[in-house]
Amino acid sequence: MKYKIIADIIILIHFLWILFILAGFVLTLGGFFWKGYFNRWIFRTIHLCGILFVAILAVLGEYCPLTILENNLMVKYDPELTYPGSFITHYVGKLVYPDVEPLVIIVPTIIIAVFTLIIYIIRPPIKVVEMLKLRKV
């Protein structure tokens, strides 16, 4: 039973990660078009690294480590499990693992990653700019 609970927690974390990536994109997009843009350097840096990691996995055709962990835990709970039966896995799982052609996920992921990287370079967070200036002095 503990494996099932941990797997449910992992899928919830996976869902929150997806929300973080999407929210980061929206905030980055807003920051590009509006002067008072979102400029939290830790958030933007973690978001950039995260979306680049996700895009690299997508390009390489690799699974997300959270997906692998969740599947391993579910197999330990019940090797024959086809429908886990929990609320989290049933409803949140459909959001994390939509039944669509993989390119529908891969292409936007790559576009978001490239856009985020370009914006990070064009308009780096203030703290990053300050750190770069200090190195030059």
* Lookup result for tokens 């509006």: 34
Over residues 73-114, the pLDDT tens digits come to 888 877 665 445 554 555 566 666 777 787 888 888 899 899
Sign of CA dihedral 37, 41, 44, 132: positive
Rounded to two decimals, the pTM is: 0.67
Contacts with 62 (C-beta within 8 Å, 6 or more apart), sequence order = none
Dihedral of alpha carbons 105, 122, 52, 34, sign:
negative
User: Mind listing the pLDDT tens digit for each residue in 48-71?
Assistant: 999 999 899 888 888 888 888 888
Is residue 37 scored above 60 in pLDDT? no
Q: Please tell me which residue, 126 or 17, carries the higher pLDDT value.
A: 17
